[in-house]
Amino acid sequence: MRDILVDSDPGLLNLALACRGALAVGLTVTLLVFLTRLTGHPITEFAFGSVFSMVSVFVIRDLTRRARLITFTVLVPTGAVAMVITSFIHAEPLVGETLFLALVFVTTLVGTWHPRAVGMGLIAVVLTYVGLYLQLPPASIPYQLGGLATGAAVVFVVCFFFLPLRPAVILRRATRSVMRRAAAVLRAADRRAAGSATLKREMDRLKRAALAAEDQLVLLDDTSRIDVQMHLFDLEQALRRLVERMPADPHAPADARRRNRIALAATRLHVGRLRRASARIPKASADPFTEDLAALSRAAAKLRAAVARVVPREPVAISTPTGVLAWRAAAQAALASLIAMAGGTALSPQRWFWAVIAVYVVFINARTRGDIIHKGAHRVVGTIAGLFAGMGIAALTKGDVAVECAVMLIAVFGMYYLVAVSYGVAIFCVTVLLGLIYGSFGDAPEPLLMLRLGETVLGVAAAMLTAFFFLPVPTTRQVRVSRLAVLRVLREVVAASVAEPRDGQAVVAAVRRLDRQIVDYRKALLPLTTGRMFPRRAKAERPMTAMFACVDAAHALAGASASVDKAAHDELVRDAALVDQRIAALIGEPADVPAGLLAEAEGRHPARAALTRLDGALAMLAERLDANALRGGAFAFARGGTR
Going by C-alpha positions, the residue among 186, 161, 166, 173 that lies closest to residue 236 is 186
For residue 398, how many C-alpha atoms fall within 13 Å in the half-sphere facing its CB? 13
Mean pLDDT to the nearest integer, 8-28: 90
Alpha-helical (H) ranges within 499-565 are 504-529, 538-541, 544-560
Vertex 498 angle, CA 492 and 504, to 5°: 80
Residues 29-40 pLDDT 10s: 999 999 999 999
Vertex 419 angle, CA 403 and 68, to 5°: 100
Going by C-alpha positions, the residue among 174, 178, 168, 167 that lies closest to residue 300 is 178
pLDDT at 538: 52
The CA distance from 191 to 481, in Å, is 37
- Any idea where the domains of the chain sit in the sequence? 1-165, 167-247+261-271+287-309, 325-473, 475-631
Mean pLDDT to the nearest integer, 532-539: 50
The CA distance from 451 to 460, in Å, is 14
> Which residues does 615 contact at the CB level (< 8 Å), separation at least 6?
575, 578, 579, 582, 597, 598
pLDDT at 593: 80
pLDDT at 498: 93
pLDDT at 215: 83
pLDDT at 276: 44
Mean pLDDT to the nearest integer, 274-298: 65
Residues 292-337 pLDDT 10s: 888 888 899 999 999 988 876 655 555 556 667 899 999 999 999 9
Q: What is the pTM of this model?
A: 0.86
The CA distance from 154 to 139, in Å, is 25
Sign of torsion over alpha carbons 32, 33, 39, 42:
positive
DSSP, res 596: S
286 CB neighbour count, 10 Å cutoff: 6
The CA distance from 489 to 484, in Å, is 9
3-state helix/strand/coil string of 358-420: HHHHHHCCCCCHHHHHHHHHHHHHHHHHHHHHHHHHHHHHCCCHHHHHHHHHHHHHHHHHHCC
- R_g of the chain computed on alpha carbons: 27
The CA distance from 241 to 243, in Å, is 5
> Which residues does 498 contact at the CB level (< 8 Å), separation at least 6?
561, 569, 572, 573, 576
The CA distance from 537 to 519, in Å, is 19
